[in-house]
Amino acid sequence: MGANTSQVSDLSDNPNLRALVGTESISENDPFWNQLISFTFISPTCSGDSKLLEEIVIPLAKLLIENNPRTGNFCALVRIFLGRTKELKISTECQDQLFIWQAHNTLFMIRCLIKVFIREMSEEELRLQFSYQERAPGSCGETGSEDLLEELLSNLVHLIVEVPLLDITYSILFEAVTTLLIVFSYQLFHKDILRDGIMYQHMMKGKCLCLTSRLVKTLLYNFIRQEKCPPPAAHIFEPKAEGGLLYGLASGVASGLWSVFTLGGAGIKAGIDQEPNPLPLSNQSLLLLLVLANLTDGPGWPNAYRQAITCFRNTQDTSALLMEQPHTFQINFNSLYTALCEQQRSDQATLLLYTLLHQNPNMRTYILSRTDMDNLVLPILEILYHVEERNSHHVYMALIILLILTEDDAFNRSIHEVVLKNVTWYTERSLTEISLGSLLILVVIRTIQFNMTRTRDKYLHTNCLAALANMSAQFRCLHQYAAQRIISLFALLSKKHNKVLEQATQSLRGRQGDNTALPDYAQDLNVIEEVICMMLEIINSCLCNSLHHNPNLVYALLYKRELFEQFRMHPSFQDIMQNLDTVIGFFSQRLEQAGSDLSVERVQEVIMKGAQALPKDRLKKFPELKFKYVEEDQPEDFFIPYVWSLVFNSGVGIHWNPQGIELFSMDSG
C-alpha cells in the first residue's frame, strides 16, 4: 500500500506490501513504514469484492509467515502500532486526524494478517510469530523477555477503554474490538471447548486483568449508545496549503469500513450481498462482551469478565457492598434498559438480556421494578410470534426470558394492568384492545401449538407450560380470545390423546401372536398425558385463585364442557378434575335456572354474579404452581457454540474449520 488510494485488485502487486512480506528486514526507523500505513483503502461493498480481498491477502500472509522468522517485519509492524497507541488519546484531544488515520491503517493490516495466521497455525506458533525481530546475519531471530502478543492485547484493551468515541475515532475503535474477536477465534478450530490457552491467560490473568471492569463497562456503553458509522465528511480532511500527499479516509472507509472483513462470507449465502450493519461498533462490542462472558474458568482463576457482568450496579446505587466485590462498576441502568428494549430483534441482544436477568440480581431487580415492562415484553413476544422466521436458539432465549420474568408474582399481576391498543403484528385476529398479560398467553399458546405440529421439542413445550403455570394464579380479566385459546389448546391435546390411544389399541389387536417390537405408543401417551395434566392444573390454578376475575374463562369452559367428560374418571386426572367438575356443575345449574335461549350478554351476567356467590371452600386447594429456570437444564457449554455462531454469522469474516466446534444454524425454523 502507500500514499495512493488502493483498491482490492491492486494489492497483490503493491510494492510496499511485497516489501513487508519479503525476505529483507526493514528497520523500525525506516521511512518505509510511514509510507506503508499512509493509504486510503476503498473497502469492499459486496461479498464478491470481499472474497477477492480474502484471496489476495492469504498468499501475502503465507509469505510473511515464511519470511518473518528471518526478517521480523511483522513484529516491526506491531511495534509501529504500539508506539502510536501511546499517543492516541492525546491525538484525539488535539483532533490529529492524520495520526489516528495512520494508526487505524496499521491495526487494519495487523488484523488481516492475524486472521490468516490463526487459520494457518497453532497458538504457540502464533506466539512465535510475535517473537521475531530484525537481526543481523547469523544472529538469533527471537526477542528477549518481551511478550509482544500480550503487549498488543493490552494496548488494544487500553485503546478501547481510554480513547473516547468520536467520529474521528469510530473506525479505530471498531478495529480494536474486532481484532480482539479475531484473536479469540481459535475456538472455531477446536472441537472441544477451550478451557486454557495463551490468549485466555493473557486476558484472564495478564496485564489486561486490571482493566476488566473498565472493558466490560465500555463495551456495554458502546452497545447502549448505538452510534452509527459516521458519514464520510467526518473522516475526510484536506492537506495543508503548501501541498503534499492527500491523506484521508475515502468514502468507502466511512460508509463501509466495517464490511471490509466480511470476506465473502461469514454468515452470507453464496451470491447474495449482505446489507451493511448500520451499527457496526455497537454490534461488535456486544459480540466481544458475550465472548468474554462465556469464556470458561481457567485452572485456578475464575472468569473475571463474567464476574464483572454479574455484579455491576446502577449509578444511583450507593450501597457499601459496591466495594466488596471484585471487578464491579456502576452503569446507568435506565440507558441499558432502553437499549435492551430497542435491540431485541437480534440474537445477541436477547442473549445479553438473558444473561443479565439470570446472572445479575441488581439488573433483574431493576427490570422487574419498571412500570413500562411492555417496552421489553412486547419485543420478546414478537420474537415468539414470528417463530417460523427465527432460529430455534433465539426462540429458546426469548422463552427462557419469559420464564424468568414469570417467576415474579408482581410481574404476573402487573402485566394484566397494562392495556395495549392495536397490536399490529398479531394477525390471527384483530386485537384493538387487550392486556399485556392476555397477549402473552396468546403468544405462548401459539408457540405450543406450532411446536406440536412442527418441531415437537419437549424442552420448548416444558418452558411454555412452565411460564403459563407461573402466571396462572394471577390471571386477571382474561381477554375472551385468550380464554378461548386456552380451552382450544386443551381440545387439541384431547384430540391428540384420543388418536394415540386409538393407534395403540389397533396396534395391539393387529399384532396378537406377533412377537416383533411394538411402536412406543405408551411413551407418546405418557408425554401427552403429562401435558394435559399440566393444562388442567393451569386452568384449576386460575379458577381457585381468581375465578371472579375471569368470567371469560368460565364462559369458554362451559361452552366446551364436553371436552372434560372423558378425563373425569381417568386415574391420572381425577384429583385435578374435582374442581373443574364443581365449577362446571355450579354454573351450569345457575344457567338452567336463568332460563333457555339466553343471549351471550345474559350468560356473562349470570357467570359474573355466580362467581361472587360460589363459596371458595367448595374448591379443593392444591400446591401453588411455581417453576424456576435452572441453567443446568441446558446442555453443557451450550452458550459457547451459540455465541461463536453469532460471531461467525455477524459478518466479522472469521474462518471456521468444520472439524472444529459445532456451530448452530442461524436459519429460521
Q: Report the alpha-carbon distance of residue 381 to residue 65 in Å, rounded.
A: 51
- Indicate the burial class of 236 (C-beta count within 10 angstroms; 0-12, 13-18, 19 or more): middle
Residue in this structure with the C-alpha cell 441499558, named with its chain if needed: 336
Neighbour-count burial for 237-268, b at 16+ CB within 10 Å, e otherwise:
eeeeeeeeeebbbbbbbbbbbbbbbbbbbbbb
C-alpha 75/C-alpha 130 separation (Å) is: 6
Assigned domain for 215 exists: yes
Q: Output the pLDDT for position 229.
A: 85
Note whether 417 and 299 are same-domain residues. Answer: no
The CA distance from 594 to 305, in Å, is 67
Residue 173, Cα to own-chain centre: how many angstroms? 22
Neighbours of 599 (CB within 10 A): 8
Residues 157 and 297 reside in one and the same domain:
yes
In total, the chain counts a number of residues equal to: 669
- 3-class DSSP string for 349-377: HHHHHHHHHHHCHHHHHHHHHCCCCHHHH
Q: Residue 503 corresponds to which cell in the numbers above?
A: 393407534
Contacts of 29 (CB under 8 A, 6+ apart): none
pLDDT of residue 2: 57
Together in a domain, 557 and 650: no
Assess contact for 98 and 247: CB atoms under 8 A: yes
Q: Are residues 609 and 640 in the same domain?
A: no
For residue 248, being part of any structural domain is answered with no
- Determine the pLDDT at residue 258: 30
Asked if residue 325 belongs to a domain, the reply is no
Asked if residue 281 lies in contact with residue 665, where contact means CB atoms within 8 angstroms, the answer is: no
CB burial of residue 495 (10 Å; 0-12, 13-18, 19+): exposed
CB 59 within 8 Å of CB 12? yes
In a domain, 212, yes or no: yes
Strands 313-314 and 330-331 come out as parallel
Instruction: Examine residue 160 and state whether it is found in any structural domain, yes or no.
Output: yes
Domains of the chain: total: 3
Low-confidence ranges of the chain (pLDDT < 50): 5, 45, 136-141, 143-144, 233-274
pTM passes above 0.85: yes
Give yes or no: residues 173 and 187 share one domain.
yes
Same domain assignment for residues 103 and 161: yes
Q: Are 351 and 235 in contact (CB under 8 A)?
A: no
Q: Which three cell numbers stand for residue 397?
A: 432465549
45 within some domain: yes
Based on the domain organization, do 387 and 486 belong to the same domain?
no
301 and 437 inside one domain? no
Residue showing cell 490463526 = 118
- Whether residues 578 and 595 share a domain: the answer is yes
Question: 419: part of which helix (H) or strand (E)?
Answer: strand 419-421
Residues 391 and 482 in one domain: no
Domain hosting residue 420, numbered range: 332-472
Same domain, 585 and 656: no
pLDDT at 320: 61
**Residue appearing with cell numbers 495463551:** 198
- What pLDDT sits at residue 3? 52
User: Is residue 237 one of the residues assigned to a domain?
Assistant: no
CATH number of the structural domain spanning residue 363 = 1.25.10
Q: For residue 423, is it within any domain?
A: yes
153 and 32 in a common domain = yes
- Asked whether 137 and 190 are in contact (CB, 8 A), the reply is no
In sign, the C-alpha dihedral spanning 114, 118, 121, 125 is positive
